[in-house]
């Protein structure tokens, strides 16, 4: 996706590559990025929060979310940004009742909290599994002045929140390849008044999205968010506007190759 955008711009001296970094190696990778001629890099699970302590400065976008998914390398300085908020804003509809439920309490959920609040969703419920991470997310929300509630995933309050919600967001990796038969919620909780937005983009059509459509709900996949946040990253690194159509076409082609 990113290389297709670079080629579209006629940039042939920059290559976007995937690097698998174990948590124990994160500090070493970040500190040596300039030595490997990186001008920047994306950050994904599980490093979006833990990378912060290894950076020299945070842009306002990352300060707001307290999570980083884009790093710009400037000489020996590393600056953290967050483009996930822009990605969420590009995908979610305008609120009606303002009631939304978000699955997850990690870095992606932080971006969702900021984005949905900015979009006008005033009744936000976040669902997690572990008390420690739920409490940490609640402290984050309080620091940012975000009006949210946190409930246990699968509990009665969770089911009640989904029943009255107009928007359900999956900000967890549940359903991501290779575990494509997994869903973060049972089909019985989904209803036709919902819009279901799954941040997972591989596969393009997750089990959650299939169940959402079967229930009569509107379904939005994570590919559009992936493309939107990627285009924002290109602006940060190179000051260029990535061609959205070119990027989405390339991403779809790559995902289809993986499936085959």
Q: Residue 69: what pLDDT?
A: 94
How far apart are the C-alpha atoms of 223 and 152, rounded to whole Å? 28
Q: Residue 38: what pLDDT?
A: 97
87 lies in a domain?
no
- In this structure, the answer to whether residues 182 and 230 fall within a common structural domain is no
- In this structure, the answer to whether residues 143 and 167 fall within a common structural domain is yes
234 lies in a domain?
yes
- What is the domain extent for residue 105? 92-221
Q: Residue 241: what pLDDT?
A: 95
Q: Residue 60: what pLDDT?
A: 96
Ordered mean pLDDT values, 10 residues apiece, the chain (260 residues): 97 96 97 96 91 97 94 95 95 96 94 96 97 96 95 97 98 94 97 97 96 98 95 97 96 86
**CATH number for position 152:** 3.40.50.720
49 contacts 67 by C-beta, under 8 angstroms: yes
- In this structure, the answer to whether residues 96 and 217 fall within a common structural domain is yes
- In this structure, the answer to whether residues 206 and 228 fall within a common structural domain is no
Q: Residue 75: what pLDDT?
A: 86
- In this structure, the answer to whether residues 10 and 68 fall within a common structural domain is yes
Specify the number of domains making up the chain.
Answer: 2
Starting at the edge strand found earlier in the chain, the sheet holding 218-220 runs 148-152, 123-128, 99-103, 167-170, 195-198, 218-220
Per-residue pLDDT tens for 128-141? 999 999 999 999 99
If we measure between CA atoms, which residue out of 160, 216, 184, 12 comes closest to residue 105?
184
Q: pTM (2 decimals)? A: 0.90
Q: Residue 260: what pLDDT?
A: 67
Q: Residue 45: what pLDDT?
A: 83
- In this structure, the answer to whether residues 101 and 14 fall within a common structural domain is no
Phi, psi (degrees; rounded to nearest 5) at 259? -70, -30
Tokens of 33: 């990025």
Supply the residues annotated as catalytic.
Answer: 48
């Amino acid at each position: 996706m990113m290389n297709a955008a670079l080629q579209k711009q006629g940039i042939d001296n920059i290559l976007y590559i995937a690097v698998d970094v174990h948590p124990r190696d994160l500090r070493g990778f970040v500190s040596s990025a300039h030595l490997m001629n990186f001008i920047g890099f994306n950050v994904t699970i599980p490093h979006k929060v833990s990378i912060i302590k290894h950076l020299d400065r945070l842009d306002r976008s990352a300060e707001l979310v307290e999570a980083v998914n884009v790093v710009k390398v400037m000489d020996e300085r590393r600056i953290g940004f967050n483009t996930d908020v822009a990605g969420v804003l590009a995908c979610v509809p305008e609120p009606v009742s303002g009631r939304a439920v978000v699955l997850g309490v990690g870095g992606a959920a932080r971006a969702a909290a900021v984005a949905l609040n900015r979009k006008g969703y005033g009744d936000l419920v976040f669902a997690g599994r572990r008390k420690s991470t739920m409490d940490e997310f609640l402290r984050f929300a309080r620091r940012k002045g975000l009006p949210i509630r946190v409930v246990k995933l699968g509990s009665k309050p969770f089911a009640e929140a989904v029943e009255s919600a107009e928007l359900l967001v999956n900000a967890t990796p549940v359903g991501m390849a290779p575990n494509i038969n997994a869903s973060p919620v049972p089909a019985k909780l989904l209803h036709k008044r919902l819009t279901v937005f799954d941040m997972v983009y591989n596969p393009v059509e997750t089990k959650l999205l299939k169940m959402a459509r079967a229930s009569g709900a509107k379904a939005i996949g994570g590919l559009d968010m992936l493309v939107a946040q990627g285009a924002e990253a290109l602006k940060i690194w190179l000051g260029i506007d990535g061609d959205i159509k070119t990027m989405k076409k390339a991403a779809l082609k790559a995902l289809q190759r993986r499936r085959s």
